[in-house]
Amino acid sequence: MAYGFSAINDSGQIIISNETDNMHYIGKATYSSNDGGDYSDFPGYSGSYDTLDGRVIFNYTITSTATPLVFIKPNDYNRWHALIRQYNSGNTWYFEVMLNGTSTSNYPDLYCFVNAEDAGTSSENYGLIVYKDNGDRTFDSRLSPLAVTGGGNCIPPSDPTDTSGLPTTTSGHPWNYATLDHDFRSTTRYNSYSITGTHTDLMFAAPSLAQATYKRQMEGYKRSCGDYGCCCQDHYSTAAWWVMYRNAFRIRNGYFDAGWGTYAAGYAFSSQSESGGWFGGGGGSYSSGTMPYTAKTINYFSNVFILADATGFDT
């Protein structure tokens, strides 16, 4: 390169360049509402392994002419966080952030960043501005540029459930049997990555789309016959529990964790018997919710996570 500007750190990484855009702070997204919390258990089911992790979805907005890069700054470091949706209408951007549990308190702060050209201008007379060949700014020290303090690649475990092994479909159970034997929580299902710095000062960006849906299904059967084996009647039942998960993240002292959070869940039960027979008969059914897709993990690959110190953007 015959001309230009580059700032390189001790590790040989480019910090500022006239060819690469730096991100600049435009403000915190405004918190607007939450969905009240849900899925602390399976709807319509009461029995063993009924407890789930629960979740609350918090809603935010910010005005920007460009697509913001969003950093999550937790206010409760025991909870898992995930940016699960980001969309815009005109210059208004909407964000949905999922936290585990059902408490609507201690929702996180969202810090938003865009490139220098879309971050606006400043009346300050002193600072460092770096331009591209076309005259657009890549860096403007007057506009609170983002300083990355750490990061790496992360991925959650392939199995999101606390019981070892993925849930399956089995047959041969008694008719109308509906006792769950699988723990669908995700409290132990995460991978940890070492980080440095005071974790309560850190915010993170982790744009993962990893999702998983798994089901435990039990097929029941019974045959009822009259005297001497005549007038037989077959009975069938199906009990099914399913949970949909989203990749979620947690910052703790010395570690960044990639795990899972419950997004939705359902329980379905059906029971049928053949008409007629010695006992006569009809049947009944109950269902709650429909699985969003067949049991599998999708968008499952290593994703980048970025860490930054949030304290400098609160002044």
User: Which is higher by pLDDT, 112 or 227?
Assistant: 112
Q: Where are the beta strands (DSSP E) in 90-156?
A: 92-100, 109-115, 129-131, 137-140, 148-154
Average pLDDT value for residue range 79-94: 97
Q: In this structure, what are the phi and psi dihedrals at residue 65, rounded to the nearest 5 degrees?
A: -80, -15
CB-based contacts of 288, cutoff 8 Å, min separation 6: 43, 44, 45, 266, 267, 268
186 with 53: CB under 8 angstroms?
A: yes
CA 184 to chain centre: 15
**H-run or E-run covering 203:** strand 202-205
Question: Which of 84-98, 183-197, 219-233 bottoms out in mean pLDDT, i.e. has the lowest?
Answer: 219-233
Q: Alpha-carbon distance 164 to 30, whole Å?
A: 41
CB atoms within 10 A of CB 232: 13
Q: What would the pLDDT profile of 64-82 be if each residue is shown by its tens digit?
A: 999 999 999 999 999 999 9
**What is the spatial distance between Cα 197 and Cα 254, in angstroms, rounded to a whole number?**
8
> In the prediction, which pLDDT does 262 show?
97
The whole-number average pLDDT for the span 142-169 is 94
| Contact yes or no for 276/244 (Cβ under 8 A) | no
Which residues have C-beta within 8 Å of that of residue 135, sequence separation ≥ 6?
none
Among the ranges given (131-135, 152-156, 177-181, 273-277), the one the predictor scored with the smallest mean pLDDT: 273-277
Question: 3-class SS at 227?
Answer: helix
pLDDT value, residue 281 = 45
Q: What is the pTM of this model?
A: 0.88
- Give me the phi and psi of 59, to 5 degrees please: -115, 140
How many percent of the chain have pLDDT more than 90? 68
